[in-house]
């Protein structure tokens, strides 16, 4: 019996020693998740990296539409690329992202500087969006976006120091250059001509708002219904520009050569105004005229000569505008009244008004947006022939509720 007790005691001791020895070799893992902070982003589109130190699976949460995270999760230490869209507001903005791992969460505040307001001076070394307020414009260029139609440079992209040496860039005097060749991709199958042209986008970078419709991206006439005026971003409008047309096409059919649209109001399917500059090959001076296109069922297109004539065989206009000569236009809509003014230094303004009461633009569902730049009106010339204009001022406004 005594021998049995001794053996039993030895067995128990062995087991206990073995268990305690095994347990002591096991070390309990302590979850670890650390993330770095970020300095303030500039107002431009930009990417910075966050460092993640972790020994566990982690994932992110981001409820801010102007911030993008790549990657959004991981299983060990790594980096998260934080990309921000251009801030087109004059106010600094802040967003918060969160990294989760196990029972740990880390919040990182993302701050982006406000857009710097230009003081009105033009800098030859700056990009167009630095010299001009392009916070509510996008841009069309005649390059294939991959589907056989022209490429759109978004509001965010154009305000991230966008330039293109072929189509859209800053001139040596600081002006904003629009250059558009005859050959290139069009914005849609229904469009016959190429363009390098700005399109008003009152939604700014808020892409949750549709580009079309009576909504916060577009405006309506002051003569529209109260319901439409409340639904739109504003009503009535005024756009002013100072520019010089540098070059027009010299090849192609006689009814197209030398003509270019430099400003528009576009509606659903029609244009309350298309403002033209045209200089014929044998003339030293160019003409200014515009078209008013009522909606379907409300009459034919109307044409208004302002300086010179739109005729394809017009004589040199005695008071015309030469290439590279600066002039200004103002397009203004109040209610159903459209007024167009052409101004030149040392000369009397030329003003023409159209009553749009019977043009169909004040009915429910009709919406408007401004366009400015170069809309080449020649598709019959040599492929590399082109139209070019340089803008020195571009401003617009609307009445808001």
Both structure tokens of 8:
């039993």
Instruction: Return the beta strands (E) in 155-254 as ranges.
Output: 168-170, 176-181, 195-200, 219-220, 234-247
Residue 240 has pLDDT above 70, yes or no: yes
Residue 200 has pLDDT above 50, yes or no: yes
Residue-wise burial string across 167-183, b where 16 or more C-beta atoms lie within 10 A, e elsewhere = bbbbbeebbbbbbbbbe
Domains (range + CATH), the chain: 33-112 (2.60.40.10), 128-399 (2.60.120.200)
What CA–CA distance (Å, rounded) separates 182 from 214? 33
What are 163-169's contacts with CB under 8 Å, separation 24+? 163/127, 163/128, 167/141, 167/142, 167/143, 167/196, 168/128, 168/139, 168/141, 168/196, 169/128
Give 223-234 as a DSSP string: TS-HHHHHHSSE
Taking only Cα atoms into account, the Rg of the chain, rounded to an integer number of angstroms, comes to: 32
Taking only the tens place, the pLDDT of each residue in 303-326 is 999 999 999 999 999 999 999 999
Taking only the tens place, the pLDDT of each residue in 349-377 is 999 999 999 999 999 999 999 999 999 99
Centre a 10 Å sphere on the Cβ of residue 31 and count the other Cβ atoms it contains: 12
What mean pLDDT, rounded, does the chain reach? 92
Is the pTM value of this prediction over 0.75? yes
């Amino acid at each position: 019996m005594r021998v049995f007790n001794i053996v039993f005691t030895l067995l128990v001791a062995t087991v206990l020693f073995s268990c305690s020895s095994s347990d002591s070799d096991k070390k309990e893992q302590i979850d670890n998740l650390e993330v770095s902070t970020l300095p303030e982003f500039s107002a431009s589109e930009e990417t910075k990296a966050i460092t993640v130190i972790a020994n566990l699976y982690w994932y992110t949460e981001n409820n801010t539409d102007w911030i993008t995270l790549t990657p959004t999760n991981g299983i060990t230490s790594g980096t998260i690329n934080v990309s921000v869209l251009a801030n087109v507001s004059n106010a600094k903005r802040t967003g918060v992202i969160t990294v989760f791992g196990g029972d740990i969460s880390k919040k990182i505040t993302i701050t982006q500087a406000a857009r710097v307001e230009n003081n009105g001076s033009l800098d030859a070394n700056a990009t167009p969006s630095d010299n001009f307020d392009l916070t509510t414009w996008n841009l069309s260029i005649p390059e294939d976006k991959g589907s056989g139609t022209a490429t759109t440079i978004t509001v965010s992209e154009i305000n991230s120091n966008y330039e293109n040496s072929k189509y859209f860039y800053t001139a040596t005097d600081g002006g904003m250059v629009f250059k558009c060749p005859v050959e290139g991709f069009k914005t849609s199958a229904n469009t016959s001509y190429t363009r390098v042209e700005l399109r008003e986008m009152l939604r700014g970078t808020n892409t949750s708002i549709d580009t079309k419709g009576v909504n916060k991206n577009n405006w309506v006439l002051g003569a529209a219904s109260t319901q439409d005026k409340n639904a739109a971003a504003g009503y009535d409008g005024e756009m002013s520009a100072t520019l010089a047309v540098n070059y027009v096409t010299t090849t192609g059919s006689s009814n197209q050569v030398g003509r270019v649209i430099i400003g528009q109001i576009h509606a659903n399917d029609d244009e309350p105004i298309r403002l033209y500059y045209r200089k014929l090959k044998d003339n030293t001076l160019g003409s200014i005229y515009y078209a008013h296109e009522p909606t379907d069922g409300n009459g034919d297109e109307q044409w208004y000569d302002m300086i010179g004539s739109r005729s394809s065989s017009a004589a040199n206009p005695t008071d015309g505008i030469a290439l590279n000569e600066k002039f200004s236009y103002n397009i203004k809509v109040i209610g159903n009244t459209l007024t167009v003014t052409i101004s030149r230094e040392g000369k009397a303004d030329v003003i023409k008004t159209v009553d749009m009461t019977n043009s169909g633009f004040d009915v429910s569902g009709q919406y408007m947006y401004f366009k400015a730049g170069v809309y080449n009106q020649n598709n019959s010339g040599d492929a590399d022939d082109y139209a070019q204009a340089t803008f020195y001022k571009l401003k617009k406004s609307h009445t808001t509720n």
